[in-house]
Amino acid sequence: MIELEEAQRILLGEVPVGPTVTVKLRDAAKFRLAEAIRCDVDYPPFARSVMDGYAVKACDVGQVPAKLRVAGQLPAGLDSPLVLRAGEAIQINTGAPIPPGADAVVRVEVTKLSDDGLHVEILESVPAGKFITERATYARAGDVVLEAGAMLSPMNMAVAATAGAAEVCVYRKPTAAYLVTGDELVDVDARPSGAQIRNSNEYLLASLLTAAGIEAKSLGVAGDDPAELRRKVEAGCEQDVLITTGGISMGEFDFVPRVLEALGAEMLVHKIAIKPGRPTIVARMPGGTWVFALPGNPLSALVGYELMVRPALSRMQGGDGKAAREMQAICDGELSAVRDRQTFIPAVARVNDDGEWAVRLLSWFGSGDAVGAANANALIHRPAHAVAVTRGDKVSVMLLPHSMDV
Ligand code: AMP
Ligand code: MG
């Protein structure tokens, strides 16, 4: 058994970054950039109006009211055919190019157009430059607008589009498969009879991977049978990542470690000093597939995913490979002292009325209790040998990024 920090260090030392691919920008949302994006033109490409109103010479409207001749109209998208001369105004719309000769824009709200439309009365003075965005205010051609490593968030998609990045070089998303194991499992549409229980992990893993933007293939359920397990693990080895649950404890029917070893797995991590999640395995298969064999209980599987799978997926996609960040939050109840393993407890985190993070404890019966963990969006993280917590104490909390209700 090794400490969590050691397991994560081994993992990040071994998991490779990349490979990279070039994709169309519209297919690149949520990918991480492998190369910086530079703006291909000055931005904005021309001096443009910020307001609907009149392009003027500021010196013509130093004294107000000022009566100017309306020399024409400039909607957005039209290259100005006009040159503004002294004593003139040109009707201009937001986003339209500033005509040569103009050096300010007066908002339409502080003007009065004559009934014949030939003159406009300007009621407010403006300094030169007012309501004009000069060419290249935002970026010059060749400027880096997004660094390598930036994630293509919705805002960054807009930045990339602005910069003319029709194709972008990003880290490829790993392909993944997941497999749950156990003779006792029945699917959601069956009523468990006798010694059966419902297969909740398949839904847990499917939604974790979907939320991570990874297309993952379900290999269904493998019974506790080495031959069947081997076949399914082999099928999973066609992907970059295979996640399994169950079958890794000390029981006679826990065949997963033996099957992995029989297939030539290099067991990089086997047993971590965490609770729940102790039996977690990280293995590299001869073909390069990364196998994360997580324990069977749903909360153990979730903890193993957050602590090991998420960092690995992040690293493969050019991220920093860190587990979700932790913060301090006020605990609303009591927690007993911790023994020798770092401990993770599902909880509901929220910002309280004073603007501080607080966590609500759940009525939870341990790692097999998915029901008690309903609505959990965080894990309280208690260090090994931590003393008991009383209501109002601060505890360390890891938000579950895919579970935040925002
Ligand atoms: P195992 O690691 O296979 O010994 O499983 C540990 C516990 O998790 C047992 O109580 C299993 O019944 C339960 N378990 C295993 N797989 C699943 C699953 N897919 N969904 C819900 N519980 C499971
Ligand atoms: Mg089992």
* Residue 18, phi then psi, degrees to nearest 5: 90, -165
Domains and CATH numbers, the chain: 4-17+173-316 (3.40.980.10), 20-43+137-171 (3.90.105.10), 48-133 (2.170.190.11), 326-403 (2.40.340.10)
Could you count the other beta carbons within 10 Å of the beta carbon of residue 55? Answer: 29
Q: What is the pLDDT of residue 248?
A: 97
Percent with pLDDT over 70 in the chain: 100
What's the gap in Å between 375 CA and the centre of ligand 2?
A: 26
Does residue 18 have a pLDDT over 90? no
E strand intervals along 25-135: 37-38, 48-49, 53-56, 66-74, 88-92, 104-107, 111-113, 119-122, 132-133
pLDDT per residue over 240-259, tens digit each?
999 999 999 999 999 999 99
Task: Say if ligand 1 is within 6 A of residue 218 CB.
Answer: no
CA 39 from centre of chain: 24
Q: What is the pLDDT of residue 406?
A: 66
Q: What is the mean pLDDT of residues 281-295?
A: 98
pLDDT band at residue 392 using 50, 70 and 90 as cut-offs: very high
Q: What is the mean pLDDT of residues 163-189?
A: 98
Closest ligand to residue 296's CA = 1
Distance, in Å, from the CA atom of 334 to the CA atom of 386, rounded to the nearest integer, reads 13
Whole-number Cα distances in Å, 199 to 27, 245, 373:
33, 10, 16
Does residue 294 have a pLDDT over 80? yes
Element (H, E) at 350: strand 342-351
pLDDT per residue over 195-248, tens digit each?
999 999 999 999 999 999 999 999 999 999 999 999 999 999 999 999 999 999
> Across the chain, what does the average pLDDT equal?
97
What HEC string does 251-308 produce?
A: CCCCCHHHHHHHCCCEEEEECECEECCCCCEEEECCCCCEEEEECCCHHHHHHHHHHH
Q: What is the mean pLDDT of residues 85-110?
A: 98
- In this structure, the dihedral spanned by the alpha carbons of residues 298, 300, 303 and 306, taken in order and rounded to 10 degrees, is -60
Name the residue at shortest CA distance from atom 16 of ligand 1. 296
Distance, in Å, from the CA atom of 401 to the CA atom of 212, rounded to the nearest integer, reads 10
- Classify residue 226 as left (phi > 0), alpha (psi -120 to 50) or beta: alpha
Could you count the other beta carbons within 10 Å of the beta carbon of residue 164? Answer: 15
Distance, in Å, from the CA atom of 332 to the CA atom of 358, rounded to the nearest integer, reads 7
Q: What is the mean pLDDT of residues 390-394?
A: 98
Closest ligand to residue 370's CA = 1
Name the residue at shortest CA distance from atom 17 of ligand 1. 296
Could you count the other beta carbons within 10 Å of the beta carbon of residue 161? Answer: 12
Q: What is the pLDDT of residue 403?
A: 92
3 state SS of 250: coil
Mutational test site, ligand 1, from 183, 218, 221, 297, max ligand atoms within 8 Å of CB: 297
Task: Say if ligand 1 is within 6 A of residue 298 CB.
Answer: yes
Task: Say if ligand 1 is within 6 A of residue 300 CB.
Answer: no
Mutational test site, ligand 1, from 179, 181, 183, 185, max ligand atoms within 8 Å of CB: 185
Closest ligand to residue 249's CA = 1
Q: What is the mean pLDDT of residues 64-74?
A: 97
Percent with pLDDT over 90 in the chain: 97
Mutational test site, ligand 1, from 183, 186, 197, max ligand atoms within 8 Å of CB: 197
What's the gap in Å between 225 CA and the centre of ligand 1?
A: 15
Contacts of 76 (CB under 8 A, 6+ apart): 93, 94, 95, 96
Q: What is the mean pLDDT of residues 182-193?
A: 97
Task: Say if ligand 1 is within 6 A of residue 204 CB.
Answer: no
Distance, in Å, from the CA atom of 326 to the CA atom of 309, rounded to the nearest integer, reads 17
